Amino acid sequence: QQQVKQSPQSLIVQKGGISIINCAYENTAFDYFPWYQQFPGKGPALLIAIRPDVSEKKEGRFTISFNKSAKQFSLHIMDSQPGDSATYFCAASDRSNYQLIWGAGTKLIIKP
């Protein structure tokens, strides 16, 4: 019940296209859902995060869509650019335990 399932494992998108990465969870106590971006040789960095009181959050070209009833959330990258090529991780946590539960990661490649 503590798992966060992330898909796909890898994704290739043409420049200018939309990249979509999905995550699903079981624990209904989760109330914080971040996405992290990791470039080769670097540690992950927070990209965008959402709490379940909203269904969507947008920051520039990055949008989180959250479906509480389906227990799913997804990252959309609009107008994908080669510089977006990285590994993306979703995660979740609840207030009683600040430990983040991580998805397995998605390697995104944007083809020029």
Residue 65 contacts residue 76 (beta carbons within 8 Å):
yes
Q: What is the DSSP letter of 32?
A: B
Told to check if 32 binds other proteins by CB under 8 A, we report: yes
Residue 20: how many other CB atoms lie within 10 Å: 17
Closest CB 79 distance from other proteins, rounded Å: 26
Site for other proteins in 74-93 (CB under 8 A): 89, 93
Told to check if 60 binds other proteins by CB under 8 A, we report: no
Four-residue CA torsion sign, 97, 103, 107, 110: negative
Binding site for other proteins (CB under 8 A): 32, 34, 41-46, 49, 89, 93, 95, 97-100, 102-105
